[in-house]
């Protein structure tokens, strides 16, 4: 069973440090390949650190591991993923003339993978 969330992709300081070493290095890949979920949503959905979920948007889908956010970082109902290959697969192609696809406040369906 899936549930709707709002996804907020963005940059992290660890990602910024990792990019100077290269996008194929361990630190960068670890940072861009994990979905942060509020501790309340993790508990409610029966998720543990490292569990995998499927996220679907209107434009695509990904499978990604989860980790709890710090309690004060994300309220229930919001998800965060660092910009990278996985987050890009969920973005649409329309840029509304800006040259950059909309990447904030994406409606996504989250489903735990057995």
Instruction: Give domain limits for the chain.
Output: 2-112
Q: Two tokens at 28?
A: 């960068």
Pairwise CA distance, residues 39 & 46, whole Å: 10
Q: What is the pLDDT along the chain (114 residues), one digit of tens a residue?
A: 789 999 998 876 665 555 566 666 677 777 788 999 999 999 999 999 999 999 999 989 999 999 999 888 899 999 999 988 888 888 866 656 655 656 677 899 999 997
For 37-72, b/e burial (b = at least 16 CB within 10 A) is bbeebbeebebeeebebebbbeeeebebebbbbeee
Can you name the CATH fold of 2-112? Answer: Barwin-like endoglucanases (2.40.40)
In this prediction the pTM is 0.83
Q: Two tokens at 55?
A: 């996220």
């Amino acid at each position: 069973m899936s549930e709707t969330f709002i996804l907020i992709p963005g940059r992290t300081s660890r990602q910024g440090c990792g990019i100077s070493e290269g996008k194929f290095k361990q630190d960068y890949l670890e940072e861009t390949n994990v979905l942060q979920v509020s501790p309340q949503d993790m508990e409610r959905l029966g998720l543990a650190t490292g569990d995998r979920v499927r996220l679907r948007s209107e434009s695509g889908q990904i499978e990604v591991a989860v980790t709890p956010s710090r309690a004060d970082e994300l309220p229930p109902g919001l998800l965060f993923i660092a910009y990278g290959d996985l987050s890009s697969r969920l973005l649409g192609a329309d840029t509304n003339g800006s040259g950059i696809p909309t990447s904030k406040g994406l409606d996504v369906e989250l489903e735990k993978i057995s």
